[in-house]
Amino acid sequence: MQRHSISLALAACGFAAMLGGMPAQAEPTPEEIINGFEGVLGPVRTHRPSHPKGLCAAGHFTATAEGTRLSVAPVFNGQRVTTIIRFGVAGANPQADDRARSTRGLGIRFETAAGDVWDMANISAPIFGAPTPQSFLENLRVRAPDPAAGRPNAERIAAFVAANPAVTLQGAWLAATLPPASWATTPYFGVNTFRFRGQDGQVRHARWVFEPRAGVARLTAEQMQSLPRDFLADEIRQRIAQGPVEFDMVLQFPAAGDDLTNPTIAWPEDRPRAVVGRLTVTSAAAGPGGPCDPISFMTLDQEPGISLSDDPTLQARAAAYAVSLSRRTN
């Protein structure tokens, strides 16, 4: 039976925080997490609370022989698997600026011929914004508008940041990295660690990244000023009209001492890697909307081939995204 967890889209909303030095707290409920979002954004009923600006696309995925060896999950059976795809722009604004120094998103639903479904969401930064559900929620709460002032309490935010220096990690990475020139020319990271059971029965921890076969290309400083704020959708439509857009799915394996449960820490780039499949994007929607809109792109485990690690952020997500989706659709 498939077991769902949440999309990594929560990672890309720009609330990068780590909560340290505080006593252990109970795990936040799904309602508390979504209420934390709405405390900052107000009620969210018409769009996603994160990456609301996006484009639906479609294509297929085919595992490599190495992917089939490393996972017995149905999506890695080596056959062509249909995919529903969503490209996104971070933030809570459906009119977000495509030139902003924020993350881009790649949501994928894999649908095998046998009816197996696997959802995932990936971001264009190699690290997540918080190491635990508690820290994620606390960072939302400190940014909620003060009822008396009608705006966030700057001193409270500053105190939180000072007490938790890792709050700057994702933001610092984004500030130092030029935005993607295309949805097709940036890598997309799964960020969290999963367990992959191979044909040999061995279970291996791994993280994944989708690497663009077109190469990595970023905007120049001049393009950030001259391009229209909504260029990404037209750019990728034109690109797909010339031929499919492709990404290699690559697993990265940890070495001794690498943190398996803290997604705010990226593993060194010299860790062993394996190309396990290719994602091919063959069409894009002509306008807004499409089959991707009602999908949350929650990350699923596909037992016995793919299962969640002990990363607490993975354990908290399914129910929270279910609450968010129900509030948008009911």
Q: Which residues of 143-172 are buried (b: 16+ CB within 10 A; e: fewer)?
A: bbeeeeeeeebeeeeeebbeebebbebbbe
Does the pLDDT at position 30 exceed 80? Answer: no
Type of residue found at 46: T
Does the pLDDT at position 23 exceed 70? Answer: no
Does the pLDDT at position 17 exceed 60? Answer: no
- Which of the four pLDDT bands, split at 50, 70 and 90, describes residue 34? confident
**C-beta of residue 57 within 8 angstroms of C-beta of residue 86:** yes
Considering the segment(s) 3-329 as one domain, its CATH architecture is: Beta Barrel (2.40)
- Which of the four pLDDT bands, split at 50, 70 and 90, describes residue 224? very high
Of 125, 120, 127, the C-alpha closest to 277 is 120
Type of residue found at 119: D
The rounded radius of gyration (Å) of the Cα atoms in the chain is 19
Average pLDDT of the chain?
86
Does the pLDDT at position 281 exceed 70? Answer: yes
Does the pLDDT at position 141 exceed 50? Answer: yes
Q: What is the pLDDT of residue 85?
A: 98
Of 13, 215, 261, the C-alpha closest to 123 is 13
With a pLDDT cut of 70, the percent of the chain lying above it is 85
* Tokens coding 85: 């795809």
Query: pLDDT tens digits, residue range 191-221?
Result: 999 999 999 999 999 999 999 999 999 999 9
**C-beta of residue 248 within 8 angstroms of C-beta of residue 208:** no
- Which of the four pLDDT bands, split at 50, 70 and 90, describes residue 330? low
Query: pLDDT tens digits, residue range 97-117?
Result: 999 999 999 999 999 999 999
Please state the rounded mean pLDDT for residues 119-147.
87
Residue 109, helix vs strand vs coil:
strand
**C-beta of residue 36 within 8 angstroms of C-beta of residue 13:** no
* Distance separating alpha carbons of residues 102 and 125, to the nearest angstrom: 9
Choose the catalytic residue: 4, 47, 51, 205: 51
- Which of the four pLDDT bands, split at 50, 70 and 90, describes residue 48? low
Q: How many CB atoms lie within 10 A of CB 301?
A: 20
- Which of the four pLDDT bands, split at 50, 70 and 90, describes residue 127? very high
Please state the rounded mean pLDDT for residues 246-257.
98
Q: Is 205 one of the annotated active-site residues of the chain? A: no
* Distance separating alpha carbons of residues 282 and 115, to the nearest angstrom: 21
**C-beta of residue 87 within 8 angstroms of C-beta of residue 57:** yes
Please state the rounded mean pLDDT for residues 297-304.
82
Q: What is the pLDDT of residue 68?
A: 98
- Which of the four pLDDT bands, split at 50, 70 and 90, describes residue 277? very high
Q: What is the pLDDT of residue 22?
A: 36
Domain ranges of the chain: 3-329
Q: What is the pLDDT of residue 19?
A: 31
Query: pLDDT tens digits, residue range 78-102?
Result: 999 999 999 999 977 788 999 999 9
